[in-house]
Amino acid sequence: MWYTFNYFLIGVIFTFIVDLFLSMSQNNPTVKDISEDWHNEQRIACVILWPIGVLWFIASFIKNIFK
């Protein structure tokens, strides 16, 4: 029971962070395309599939650092 609650809680926190980053970088042309397609369906999928999102975020972050 607690594992399920923790899984969804981490997903909600991760989705909140993604929403925060998207709203802070509205002027970036790459992010603008993504933020226009970021709706409730994507948020629900992000809450459920957050481990994949975290891996994707870390890989993109590292790729941009060493660019």
Residue 2 has pLDDT above 80, yes or no: yes
CA dist 17 → 2, 4, 50 (Å):
22, 20, 11
pTM metric for this prediction? 0.72
Q: Is the dihedral angle over the CA atoms 42, 47, 14, 59 positive or is it negative?
A: negative
Alpha helices in the chain (DSSP H): 2-24, 29-36, 40-48, 50-65
Q: Do the domain assignments include residue 67?
A: no
Q: What's the total number of domains in the chain? A: 1
**Span 24-53, average pLDDT:** 82
Residue reference for tokens 């481990």 = 51
The domain in which residue 10 lies consists of 2-62
Angle at 34 between CA 30 and CA 36, to 5 degrees: 120
Q: Do the domain assignments include residue 28?
A: yes
pLDDT of res. 46 = 87
